[in-house]
Structures are given as structure tokens and as C-alpha cells.
Amino acid sequence: MAGIAASDSVPAARMSEEAPVGRGFRQWLDRKAWRDTIIATPFLWLLLFFLLPFLIIFAISLGEATMAQPPVQFAAEWPYGSLDNYRLIASDSLYIGGYFNSLIYATISTVFCLLIGYPMALAIARSRGSTRNLLLLLVILPFWTSFLLRVYAWMGLLSNNSWFNQGLTWIYNHSLNFGPPLNAIPMMNTDFAVILGITYSYLPFMVLPLYATLERLDLTLNEAAMDLGSRPLEVFKDITLPLSIPGIIAGSMLVFIPATGELVIPSLMGRADSPMIGRVINDEFSLNRDWPVASAIAVALLLMLVVPIMIYNHYQSRADVT
């Protein structure tokens, strides 16, 4: 017993002799800091790159546009800023229209993504082994090409002179020709083009969370429902659909939120007379050089999107309980 105790104490003594300074830090790091550092990292990131910029934007939104660098000025005395910009965007039809367009486009695109994405996700979740991997790869594959290039590709397809448009026009003229024959089907710069573009671009963001939810579902439940007398369609309605609601919400949020602020697709493919809010912000910021109004629009948009996120979180925490 004595021997064991002696050999035990030797390395401990040596360690304290060799590294008296490092030991304290190491111990601190081992005991507490690792965990805290890991937990703190995302918070620090959000603080630096989200909260701080957001506060700056919010501050700018309270100021006034001016011809200077930067083009913002604040009142000389308390309260330094005003809510005039918010009053302006609440009263001007250009901005209200922009929000409205964004919400409409984003809602319709989200619904289409859901209608197309759900069967896709279900099919992937129910396929086996290598087929499943291949299908998942195909869903992710478009990300390997630049987003902008893919939008340009759609522009090429939809434009009046493209083979695609001319082919559809030919079919139209030869099959359903009520009225005079068309030279081309007007597809570019329409609502249709914007919704198509958004639906196409954001589809993977709908499919992946849906797949993750559907893949986890216990198929024995489907068998149990079938055993109790439900036909396949009823089994889907009673079991699969309600159990995949968390995935539906997650996918819809992932599509709806970025779609609302979408700039590139409506700018390149949309109508000039019904801009989405992203384009309005862009125009105010770079063309009008009215930073305060642009900031106010951005802050208001953020608040509009935070509400659905909070609803989602509410559902998510409830789903975690069950």
C-alpha cells in the first residue's frame, strides 16, 4: 500500500514543480473554459455580426438623409433621432406595396415549394440505401452551380426568343389556338417568372428538413393504422402528415424568410412595376442614397419576420416536449 501511495505522489509533485504557471491555466481551461468557450462562440458570432450591425442599422433608421459621407445626420439635441422614417414607410404606397408584394410572392412560392417538396422528401425518405443517397445528391446538386448562373439560365429559357419559349409557343399555337397566334409566350418579367425562380431556387431548403423529419418516422405506425382499417391515403392523412408538421414548419420558414427579402430573382426576372421589398431597400440605399429610409424598411421587415420565427419556436419547443 505504501509503495502505491509513494509512486502516486511523485508525478504530481514533479508537475507542480515544472509548470507552476501553465498548470493553473490548463486546469481552468479543462474545468470550465472549454465548455463555456464552445457555448459562447455562436453567441459571440451573433453579437458581432448580427446584433451590432442591426443596432447600427436601427440607429441609422432614426436619422435623416444628408449630402455627406456617410449620408446620415442626427438631430443636435435629445432625443437625437425620430421615427419620421417609419411614419413615411407606413404611409407611402410604394413601401407598403413592396412589403405586400414580398409577402405574396414569398407565400405563393412557399406553398409551391411545399407541394413539390413534400412528395419529393417522402419519396426519398421511403427509398432504400443507394437510391436514397443518389436522390439526396440530386437535391443538393444545384448548389454546386452559382445561384446567379442558375437564375440567368432560367432567364435564357423564359425569354421570348429561346427554343424553350418558341417550342411552347408552337405547341400553344397548334393545339389551343383561341385567338390570334402568338409570336412568343410572355413569361419573362412576370409574376410567374418570379414565383418560378423563387420556387426553383429554394426547393432544396424545403426538401431537406422535410426529409429529415419524414426519415425518422416509425413505419410501424403506418402498419398499425393500416391494421386498424385505414387505407393508404388515410394513413398518410392521420399519421404521416401530422407527425411531419415540425418538418413542414421548418421547411416553410427556411423558404419563406429568405424569399421575402429576395433581391436578385425579382430584379432580374420580375416586373418593374411591382418590386419586392428587397429591391426597394436596394434602390433607396444605392440609387436614392437615403440610408435612413432604407434602414427603417429593413428594420420593419425584420420585425415582420421575427413574428413567424417566434411562432415556429413556440411549436418547436412544444414538439420537443412530446
Partner 1 sequence: MSDSTPQPYVSIERVTKRFGDFTAVDDITLTIDRGELFALLGGSGCGKTTLLRMLAGFEQPTSGRIMIDGEDMSGVPPYERPVNMMFQSYALFPHMTVEQNIGYGLKHEPMTAAERRARVAEMLDLVQLVGYGGRKPHQLSGGQRQRVALARALAKQPKILLLDEPLGALDKKLREATQFELMNIQHKLGITFIVVTHDQEEAMILASRIAVMDRGKIRQTGTPTNVYEFPCSRFVADFIGSINQFEGSVEDIEHDLAVVDAPECGGRIVVQTVDGVARGAQVAVAVRPEKIQIERTRPATSVNAFRGKVLDLGYFGKDSLYRVQLDSGAILRVNRVNDRRAGESERVAWEDEVWLSFEPQAAILLTE
Give 139's contacts (C-beta < 8 A, 6+ positions apart): 120, 124, 203, 204, 207, 208, 211
Residue 262: name the closest of 70, 110, 41 by CA.
110
- 99: closest CA among 243, 277, 224? 277
**Least spacing, CB of residue 226 vs partner 1, in Å:** 5
| Least distance from partner 1 to the Cβ atom of residue 122, Å | 18
Beta bridge partners of 65: 72
Using the rule CB under 8 A, which residue among 15, 224, 310, 311 binds partner 1?
224
Q: Give the HSE-up count for residue 267: Cα atoms under 13 Å, Cβ half-sphere.
A: 12
**Of the candidate residues 113, 114, 225, 265, the single one contacting partner 1 (CB under 8 A):** 225
Q: Please give the Cα distance from 199 to 191 (Å, whole number).
A: 12
Give the DSSP H/E element, type plus range, for residue 257.
Answer: helix 245-260
23 is a contact residue toward partner 1 (CB under 8 A): no
Cell numbers linked to 302 = 425584420
How many residues belong to the site for partner 1 (CB under 8 A)? 17
| Residue (130 or 220) nearer to partner 1, CB | 220
The answer to whether the CB of 154 falls within 8 A of the CB of 197 is yes
Binding piece for partner 1, criterion CB under 8 A, among 32-40, 69-77, 155-163, 220-228: 220-228
What is the distance between the alpha carbons of residues 288 and 17, in angstroms, rounded to a whole number? 69
Q: Which is nearer to partner 1, 155 or 210 (CB)?
A: 210
Task: Determine, following the binding rule CB under 8 A, whether residue 221 of this chain makes contact with partner 1.
Answer: yes
226 in contact with partner 1 (CB under 8 A): yes
Contact (CB, 8 A) for 210 and 283: no
Q: Which is nearer to partner 1, 134 or 224 (CB)?
A: 224
Q: Single out the residue of 237, 242, 313, 318 in contact with partner 1 (rule: CB under 8 A).
A: 242
Q: Is residue 116 close enough to count as binding partner 1 by CB under 8 A?
A: no
Nearest-approach distance from CB 230 to partner 1, in angstroms: 6
Which residues form the interface with partner 1 (CB under 8 A)?
218, 220-221, 223-231, 238-239, 242-243, 322
